[in-house]
Amino acid sequence: MRERTALYQGTVTEGTNSRGGWSVRAELRLIPPTNAPTEKHPE
């Protein structure tokens, strides 16, 4: 997840939350950088 968010100059944070559980938060740019690689999915 960190590698994917780094492609879009984003961040990932994780840790315990106030309810005793675990939380993961990913923040991504709305517009990807122009040098971001594109994924090709098999057809």
Q: What percent of the chain has pLDDT over 90?
A: 40
Task: Establish if 3 belongs to a structural domain.
Answer: yes
Task: Establish if 1 belongs to a structural domain.
Answer: yes
Q: How many domains, the chain?
A: 1
Task: Establish if 35 belongs to a structural domain.
Answer: no
Whether the pLDDT of residue 20 is over 90: the answer is yes
C-alpha to C-alpha distance for 38 and 28, rounded to whole angstroms: 15
Q: Could you tell me if 7 and 37 are in contact, meaning their C-beta atoms sit under 8 angstroms apart?
A: yes
Task: Establish if 8 belongs to a structural domain.
Answer: yes
Residue 6 banded pLDDT, cuts 50, 70, 90: confident
Task: Report pTM.
Answer: 0.53
The pLDDT of residue 7? 84
Which domain, by its residues, includes 17? 1-29
Whether the pLDDT of residue 22 is over 80: the answer is yes
C-alpha to C-alpha distance for 36 and 43, rounded to whole angstroms: 22
Task: Decide which of 35 and 12 is more confident.
Answer: 12
Dihedral in degrees, nearest 10, Cα atoms 12, 15, 16, 19:
0
